[in-house]
Structure 1
């Protein structure tokens, strides 16, 4: 039983480390958090949600910069409407991983947060593209 738990922990760690390495934005804190942990699903979830919080902070900073650079008018209103729709999309995305019967504990602890992080990172890239076009 202990051997099975160890193998499962290694698989989850490999999955998380692999996902963090292929992310649009590397995060060394995620790797350190995982390495320092117990290998449990709850620890991986903690590390991934901390990573997601950092990406959310980067998104909010990017949003303020882009939105603040627009003059009042059609473009600013359109961007605000787009962001509101995107927030609904972000909130609904990746929720299929909550189905433990389908995905097990890796679904909610690893796959869901990493999926949401990729959604956030994609939005950051979109906003950065708008910023370049504005300037």
Structure 2
């Protein structure tokens, strides 16, 4: 029964992520396809994170806020990675674990991207 609720939660998370511009993996025909799709979504959001960082960090440096921003980014990365490990550990050993982990990384990275967009010069 717990796995059923976890799958429902994952489906709702996927729907919310799609509403935020995340990749729609609902049409995957296998667990491998779903995991690959989630990983591709995270790769896209991570590339956007790096693009935004390359703009925001120099601007923060110019205002004397670069060290603070770097410290915040490092703390956020630690939080993101720990949170996603915690979320996927519930499914450790199961074929859905990589999908849950990648979907979490994608979701949190998209949220951080929104934060970084607010800092654009």
| TM-score normalised by the chain length of structure 2 | 0.73
In the TM superposition, what is the alpha-carbon distance from 1:118 to its structure 2 partner?
Answer: 1.4
1:62–1:127: 8 Å Cα contact kept in structure 2? yes
Mind listing any 5+ residue stretches in structure 1 that lack a counterpart? Answer: 1-7
Alpha-carbon distance in 2 for matches of 1:61, 1:95: 25
Q: CA deviation at 1:85?
A: 1.7
CA contact (8 A) 1:34 1:47 kept: no
| CA distance 1:119–1:77, change in 2 (3 Å) | same
1:81 to 52, 71, 76: 71
Aligned position for 1:100? 91
Partner of 1:26: 21
Partner of 1:100: helix, strand, or coil?
Answer: coil
User: Larger Cα Rg: Structure 1 or Structure 2?
Assistant: 1
- Residue 62 of structure 1 corresponds to 52
- Indicate the residue corresponding to 2:100 in structure 1: 111
Q: Of Structure 1 and Structure 2, which has the larger fraction of its residues in helix?
A: 1
What is the TM-score normalised by the length of structure 1?
0.66
Backbone CA RMSD of aligned residues: 2.8
SS in 1 for 2:65: helix
Q: Is the CA contact (8 Å cut-off) linking 2:57 and 2:69 kept in structure 1? A: yes
1:48 corresponds in structure 2 to 38
Contact 2:60 2:69 in 1 (8 A): no
> Which 5+ residue runs of structure 2 have no aligned equivalent?
none
